[in-house]
């Protein structure tokens, strides 16, 4: 994925950049009760009881290596950004790709062998490196991606 980011930057003469990074979500409390709710949650968190395994090593838990992580592919310039897909990656294939619905609709034929049939209709299931390359090729060559890339190059 990082290679694709570099290739995109080179192909656009550095006018459009791309990144593939882990999605990090944070909770924002808004409204008149937002600060009260946040204070209550912090107070509860401070007062919770925690059981500590005294025999455990002072190390980070490695279980997260097997857990799925969510990553986003973004293209952007100084003024605009676009996210054509997100990917849920675990330790092993298959990986799930959540593709922009317009891209799925435009590239239905090219993506048909990977569409998972989930209710949303925009989930692609990838079983190997070759499938991933072919799927990315179909996404990047979709009409929507081409139009957005062209506009990002000219709108800098």
**Which residue has better confidence, 7 or 63?**
7
Residue 8 pLDDT: 87
Residue 128 pLDDT: 92
Residue 141 pLDDT: 93
In whole angstroms, what is the distance from residue 154 CA to residue 156 CA? Answer: 6
In whole angstroms, what is the distance from residue 13 CA to residue 71 CA? Answer: 25
């Amino acid at each position: 994925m990082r290679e694709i980011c570099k290739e995109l930057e080179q192909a656009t003469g550095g006018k459009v950049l791309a990144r593939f990074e882990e999605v990090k979500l944070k909770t924002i409390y808004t409204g008149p009760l937002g600060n009260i709710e946040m204070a209550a949650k912090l107070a509860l968190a401070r007062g919770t009881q925690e059981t500590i395994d005294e025999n455990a090593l002072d190390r980070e838990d490695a279980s997260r290596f097997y857990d799925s992580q969510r990553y986003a592919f973004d293209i952007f310039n100084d003024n605009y950004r676009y996210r054509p897909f997100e990917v849920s990656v675990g330790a092993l294939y298959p990986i799930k790709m959540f593709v922009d619905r317009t891209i799925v609709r435009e590239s239905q034929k090219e993506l048909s062998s990977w569409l998972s049939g989930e209710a949303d209709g925009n989930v692609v299931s990838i079983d190997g490196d070759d499938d991933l390359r072919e799927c990315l090729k179909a996404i990047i060559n979709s009409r929507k991606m081409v139009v957005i890339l062209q506009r990002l190059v000219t709108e800098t």
